[in-house]
Amino acid sequence: MPSRIRCLKGIIHRLSGGNLFSLRAKWTVFLTLYIAVSFAVLSGVIIRLERDRALNQEKDQAIASLQALAKVIYGKWNPQATSRENIAAMESTGIRVRLYEEPLIVYAAFQDADGNLRYVPKRNPSFSWMVERTRSNFLTERNLAVMGSATRSFYERPQGKVTEFLARVTAKSGAPLGTVRLGFHDPRVNPSWRGYAHTNGGRLFFINLLATAAAFVLISFIASRLESPIRLLHRQARDLLSGAPASAPAEPSGDVLKLLSREMEGIEKLVERLKQNRSELATTLSHEFRSPMQAIIGYVDFLRRGGAGAVSSEMDRYLMTIGDNAERFQSFIDNVLELARIDNGRSISVVRPFRPQKVVENVVHLYRERARVQGVQLLQEPGPDLRGVMGDPNRIFQVLINLISNALKFTPHGGQIRVGTIDRAQDAEFFVSDTGIGIPKEQHDRVFEEFYQVPGQPPARGPKGLGLGLTLCRRLLEAQGGRIWIEGETGLGTTVRFALPHAR
Amino acid sequence: MAHVMIVDDDPTTRSFLRDVLVKLFSHRVTEASSIEQGLDHVRASCPDLILLDRHLPDGTALEFCQRLSRFQAASEVPKWLITGEKPLAWDAGFWKRFNVQGVLVKPFCIDLIDHIVHQCLQESAV
């Protein structure tokens, strides 16, 4: 139970992750941010595609216009050759290849042979304008003109970086006529990209904002729905702790994980307290039962011994019945409390190396006089000085007490109980061996069952037990990684052996 | 005849032990219900055996033993502890220092009381 609560607490802690945000806030912020970023990336991709498309369009236009220009020039030079083949021939001079790297003419200038420069003060000249200007600058001459090789240079213009192409125009005779200068936007600057972002960015931003807001609303709704069972859990836990009726209507507000985590702590403390209480109750009960039991059992014994005058045989029989039943009751309480303690899981406190001889010695010391009073000899067998054994010495002490009590019960006057240890290769073995009535072989496994008693075998003294003692021993040992078994035959005494691992 | 001192705060246990020791076995009994009272009695007359409850109103059996060990004459008096709890551990070596010879776990039988008083008388005779 406590380990399960610890696990739950861990999950809650992982969910709340450092308590910075509540669960709902965290998930909402996270998912909304995620969606906003996704939208932004998507918009960027759209803008880029749009720009590429626009650039391609502009480039196509520019190419078309310069081709037309060239065609006009060529056409003037050779009026007959305006056919498609001529254009192909013109293109084969390489002008197009050199000239048309980038789109959109931003300006055009014409320079005559004397070096006089005439700028055309018009941005983004159109095709028809280009034709017109070219005619007026160069082609009114009688000489036929031809385009020479183009050169390229870069410089800054107010519109941005510009790539300028120079195309020399030569007369047929070879005399230079002038130069056509054409400026193009530098592709690295891309005013058209800026332009697109400028014209459409606002709209895109607005759409993004709207979509993000919608996502936020949707996500917080979903998060709240997801959170509601946890809220319910919190309410149940709170009611459980406060003892309020389960159907408290008030919905808790605030960070549900913090609330839940607090409740979990409360539950953990409650469980701890209950366990503490139970353990204390067991101790107190056992303690409080024993004093009155001592009085009952003791005074019954006292009366039967004639402490208050002679006792008739009939009265003696009644007194014996009282005494026996009181003892039965006592052993019942003992066993039940002991079982409760084991099931609690608190019994095995620490498994650590210990010296078994010491424990055996103490138990034998504790029981020697009691056994002697009953006419039974309790002996500690001299054994090897064992290396450390792994276990809880207090629990081993208890197992030995149980086994010796059993042995005392079933060993008649004049018998003997031997207790000792044996060093085995794989583990350390303890044994409690008596000269009592013994247990039939086929019952050897069954005696460890809860409430099982060997039929037809009343104890040599004391009340009949409950059949819990050996069950207890087995549970205690198994919890420490040990095992227990029985040897012996009817009439040959019983040897109970148990083994624990060696300490490394 | 032995002089037995009973140090126990439970009157029923005290009267039972007194009845057994006095009426059945004719020993002499001194009773105390606390450490202080017990020590006073020991100062007045040193017993042959002390039956000592593990938990007393003004301390534990161990405290009683520790305080008793300051009296030269009485520190070696054999003692038996009385307890209402099933012992979870027993360190014979530790208690030997105070000459505590064992534990009487309630409910104990009259034979056992008789036995330990006898044993103690035999020891003191030796």
**Which range scores top for mean pLDDT: A383-392, A491-500, B27-36?**
B27-36
Question: Which DSSP state fits A443?
Answer: G
Tell me which residue in B19, B86, B115 faces A334 most closely, judged by beta carbons: B86
Chain A residue numbers with beta carbons less than 8 Å from the beta carbon of B104 are none
Q: Which of B9, B13, B86 is the best mutation test for A, with the most CBs of A within 10 A? A: B86
Tell me which residue in B23, B87, B106 faces A293 most closely, judged by beta carbons: B106
Find the range with the poorest average confidence among A106-110, A161-165, A243-247, A346-350. Answer: A161-165
Q: What is the dihedral of CA B64, B70, B76, B79, to 10 degrees?
A: 0
Listed residue (A352, A431, A337) closest to A394, CA to CA:
A352
- Quickly count: other Cβ atoms within 10 Å of residue A211's Cβ: 16
* pLDDT on residue A76: 46
Report the sign of the C-alpha dihedral through residues B53, B59, B62, B64, in that order: negative
Yes or no: say if A200 and A43 are a contact pair by the CB < 8 Å rule.
no
Q: Quick one: how far is CA A78 from the chain centroid? A: 83
Segment A368-392 shows an average pLDDT of: 86
CB within 8 Å: B87 and A294: no
% residues pLDDT > 90 (chain A): 11
* pLDDT on residue A118: 61
Yes or no: say if A228 and A33 are a contact pair by the CB < 8 Å rule.
no
Q: What is the pTM of this model?
A: 0.56
Yes or no: say if A120 and A108 are a contact pair by the CB < 8 Å rule.
yes
Chain B residue numbers with beta carbons less than 8 Å from the beta carbon of A401 are 86-87
Question: Is pLDDT of A79 > 50?
Answer: no
Find the range with the poorest average confidence among A193-207, A357-371, B60-74, B93-107. Answer: A193-207
Tell me which residue in A283, A288, A290 faces B107 most closely, judged by beta carbons: A290
Chain B residue numbers with beta carbons less than 8 Å from the beta carbon of A408 are none
Q: Which of B80, B109, B115 is the best mutation test for A, with the most CBs of A within 10 A? A: B109
For residue A117, give both structure tokens.
Answer: 């420069």
Question: Is pLDDT of A143 > 50?
Answer: no
Confidence of residue A94 (pLDDT cuts 50, 70, 90): very low
- Check whether the bond before B107 is cis (ω within 30° of 0): yes
Higher pLDDT residue, B16 or A105?
B16
CB within 8 Å: B20 and A292: no
Beta bridge partners of A145: A171
Yes or no: say if B13 and A293 are a contact pair by the CB < 8 Å rule.
no
* pLDDT on residue A188: 39
Task: Encode pLDDT of A281-325 as tens digits.
Answer: 777 777 778 888 899 999 999 999 988 889 999 999 999 889 888
Mean pLDDT of chain A: 73
Please name each of the domains of chain B with its CATH number: 3-125 (3.40.50.2300)
- Given the DSSP bridges, would you call strands A352-354 and A389-391 parallel, antiparallel or unpaired? antiparallel
- How far is B21 from chain A, CA to nearest CA, in Å? 10
A284 interfacial to chain B (CB closer than 8 Å): no
Q: Whole-angstrom Cα distance, residue A343 to residue A379?
A: 33
- How far is B103 from chain A, CA to nearest CA, in Å? 7
Yes or no: say if A207 and A214 are a contact pair by the CB < 8 Å rule.
no
Residue A173 one-letter amino acid: S
Question: Is pLDDT of A58 > 80?
Answer: no
- How far is A311 from chain B, CA to nearest CA, in Å? 14
CB within 8 Å: A291 and B116: no
* pLDDT on residue A190: 44
Which helix H or strand E contains A313, and what residues bound it? helix A313-343
Question: Is pLDDT of A330 > 90?
Answer: no
Listed residue (A202, A193, A123) closest to A159, CA to CA:
A123
Chain B residue numbers with beta carbons less than 8 Å from the beta carbon of A391 are none
Q: What is the dihedral of CA A194, A196, A198, A203, to 10 degrees?
A: -150
- How far is B87 from chain A, CA to nearest CA, in Å? 8
* pLDDT on residue A447: 87
Tell me which residue in A283, A296, A366 faces B103 most closely, judged by beta carbons: A366
